[in-house]
Amino acid sequence: MSEVELTRERVEDALFRAGYWLLFGIVMLPIVVVFATSFQQGEYLTFPPEGVSLRWYAQFFASAEWLSAVRDSVVIGVGAAVLSTALGVTGSLAVQRSDSTLARVLPPVILLPLLLPPVVIGLTLLIYFNRVGFGSTYLTIVIAHALWATPLVFFVMQSVFARFDWDLRDAGMDLGARPSRVFYHVVLPNVRSGVVISAVVAFIVSLQEFIMALFLKSYEVQTVPVLAWTSLQSSLTPLVSVVSAFLVGVSILGVLVSAALMNIEWLAEQL
Amino acid sequence: MASVTLSGLRKEYGDLTAVDGLSLDVDDGELLCLLGPSGCGKSTTLRMLGGLETPTDGDVHIGGEPVTDQPPYERNTSMVFQSWALFPHKTVLENVAFGLKMDGVSEDERRERAREMLDVVEMGGFEDHDPTDLSGGQKQRVALARSLAIEPDVLLLDEPLSNLDKRLREQMQLELRNIHDAVETTFVHVTHDQNEAFTLADSIAIMNDGQIEQVGAPREVYDDPVSLFIEEFLGDTNLIEATVTETTETGVVADVALGTAVELPTGDASVAVGDDLTVSFRPEELDVERADAAADGSPSITGEITDVLYRGSTVRFYVESAGEYLFFEQSVGADSDFAVGDAVTVSWDPADLLAFAADGDRVGGGGA
């Protein structure tokens, strides 16, 4: 290889590195700002922060209002994850290896809720649930969030099932297992990581969602982003950074826990 | 153990007809090979037998019982898949015990029976292995044990040997034969490999284009093929064009493109002067001598050796006559040592020739 080519390769290499560090920086910047400002000492949200303290964290964890919002968010997140995973996994399973009309129509239809502005969905659901007299705020927000999370679960599972060896299903049925037992004994163990990842994605989507949750909130039940918005309207204190840091933290924790669960399973298989 | 009857079986996928009105009987305890080229519908037929595909039309009977509408988990058939389809997250023992578990057999008993089955296929000692760590031949044995463990009425084998190398494949063919003799279950074995079918089968059913062309004992099918398709599919042969010039009491006389007239003992088959035929000169039926050797009166042609191909244990010689080529084979070490340029006389017994009409159907009786 000539000198010129070597130099050129080095330059290209450096540009490439610069490219992905820039991308990394852009992605990380908001998180860094949020975490940095959450340790702010003063009364107002400024960047760079002045002084370091945990006073806003203390205030957050001492506030009954915030803690109840955290509880609501987690309950709704888990509910939305369970509902959308159940719907998305079974829906995707149903259209596998089928050439029926329903199997062809379902994938594009299931995408529709993602194409509608959340403002429209939120408002529509609010009117609808009021009219039918649907009481539970938990359930209405869970359903709203499942509308968004189910298509995501569905498409994650579509790609997971695309890599599944369907001869295994046939072998299971051939050996006398009814479809439900084939699913439990043969299909599920092979796609478990996909299902866990889908559930985590659904949980995080629900945790972060704001607009539908704002429309559907009640006095008793409101999620963390909704409370953050209402408290922001009165004052811009570093408390909102603490809340954001908390949401990011919970999301990361969710990913770590699911990774750990899968690793434990993997570890158990090795022993 | 059970007999199998397929009647008028059809399977369509949209515009494509995979299986087109197929009827077939398999006797109780028989090992039938469903032989045919890729895409002829043999695997689809097997899957319909196992209930993994629903026929568009026609019926499946197993042991005299109609099972056409029974799902696979209610049929007592069991399939060994081409990919073996071992459950990757279960141990070898759990794989073999799976069918028994689904049948509600107690844990101790199913482990015991799975162990016995693993011994039958000589995989004892591999109980706790992960199937993904096994070699192809070992996976094949485990898949066989898993299918046999449920004591199926009919064992279905979907080219399970096609992913193995030649030596292992031949060994497994013999073992499969032995296992069949031991378990006395009806086997339906799908393959595209005619040697495998001849080695294994009690009976061969040859498929083409979604239909059965011929069913019979291996020897019978080989000696008496009913169509040009079967003649071509079963082995290498010399197919030479011919035109009928005369009909006689015992058959016809045809001008063969080798530049000679040949008598074909086609009986009173409906062949007319001017009809085009294809005549098969099987290489093993040809007698070849140097052109200067004394003729024994058999019909013959004289030609020149143009090519000599070494094919391992045999040597294949090509003889040219009137612009057409005939090949014949000799074992390496046979002392004739023909060489390129040698003039030879190729002769045959007319009774060994097989003639086929333009539509591919066999004309009259032949060898046998």
How far is the alpha carbon of B167 from chain A, nearest alpha carbon, in Å? 26
Show residues of chain A in contact with B147, CB under 8 Å.
Answer: 174-175
pLDDT band at B366 (very low <50, low <70, confident <90, very high): very low
Q: pLDDT tens digits, residue range A186-237?
A: 999 999 888 998 999 999 999 999 999 999 988 888 999 999 888 888 877 8
% chain A with pLDDT above 70: 96
Question: Does B87 contact A175 at a Cβ distance shorter than 8 Å?
Answer: no
ipTM summary value? 0.84
pLDDT confidence of residue B3: 93
Residue A5 — very low, low, confident or very high, per pLDDT cuts 50/70/90? Answer: confident
- Report the pLDDT value the prediction gives residue B184, as an integer from 0 to 100: 85
Contacts of B100 (CB under 8 A, 6+ apart): B109, B110, B113, B114, B149, B150
Question: Looking at chain A, which residue has its C-alpha nearest residue B97?
Answer: A175
B297-316 average pLDDT score: 86
Distance CA(A230)–CA(A66), nearest Å, equals: 12
- Give the pLDDT band (50/70/90) at residue A50: confident
Rounded mean pLDDT, B257-276: 82
pLDDT, tens digit (0-9, with 9 covering 90-100), for B49-58: 999 999 999 9
Q: What number is the average pLDDT over the span A156-175? A: 93
- The pLDDT of residue B296 is 66
Q: What is the distance between the alpha carbons of residues A51 and A149, in angstroms, rounded to a whole number?
A: 40
Q: Shortest Cα distance from B52 to chain A (angstroms)?
A: 7
Chains A–B, number of C-beta pairs less than 8 Å apart:
61
B147-195 pLDDT, tens digit per residue, is 999 999 999 999 999 888 888 899 999 999 999 998 889 999 999 999 9
pLDDT of residue A267: 62
CATH, range B233-357: 2.40.50.100
Q: Average pLDDT of chain A? A: 88
Q: Give the mean pLDDT of A72-89.
A: 95
- Between CA A104 and CA B274 the distance in angstroms is 56
Q: What whole-number distance in Å separates Cα of residue A168 and Cα of residue A97?
A: 13
Q: Per the CB < 8 Å rule, is B79 touching A171?
A: yes
Map out the domains of chain B as residue ranges: 4-232, 233-357
Joined together, the tokens standing for residue A234 give 């009165």
For chain A, the C-alpha Rg in angstroms (whole number) is 23
Whether the Cβ atoms of residue B318 and residue B307 lie closer than 8 Å to each other: yes
Kindly determine whether residue A171 and residue B85, on different chains, have CB atoms separated by under 8 Å: yes
According to DSSP H, which parts of chain A are helical?
3-38, 55-62, 64-95, 101-115, 118-132, 137-162, 166-174, 179-182, 188-208, 211-216, 224-234, 239-270
Contacting residues of A for B150, CB less than 8 Å apart: 175-176
The pLDDT assigned to B21 comes to 92
Are B73 and A178 within 8 A, CB to CB? yes
Q: In this predicted structure, what is the pLDDT of residue B104?
A: 92
Q: How many CB atoms lie within 10 A of CB B5?
A: 16
Scan for tokens 């093929």, then name that residue: B225
Looking at the domain that runs over B4-232, which CATH code has it been given? 3.40.50.300
> How far is A119 from chain B, CA to nearest CA, in Å?
44
pLDDT band at B1 (very low <50, low <70, confident <90, very high): low
Judged by average pLDDT, the poorest of A27-36, A46-55, B353-362 is A46-55
Cβ of residue A190 closer than 8 Å to a chain B Cβ:
yes
Which residue bears the tokens 């199926």?
A: B152
% of chain B surpassing 70 pLDDT: 96
DSSP class of residue B227 equals B
**For B150, which of A176, A185, A186 is closest by C-beta distance?**
A176
State how far the Cα of B307 lies from the Cα of A263, in Å rounded to an integer: 64
* pLDDT-based confidence at residue B367 (cuts at 50, 70, 90): very low
The pLDDT of residue B368: 35
Is there a contact between B20 and B36 (Cβ–Cβ < 8 Å)?
no
For residue A177, the model assigns a pLDDT of 94
| Structural domains for chain A | 63-270 (1.10.3720.10)
Position B333 pLDDT exceeds 80: no
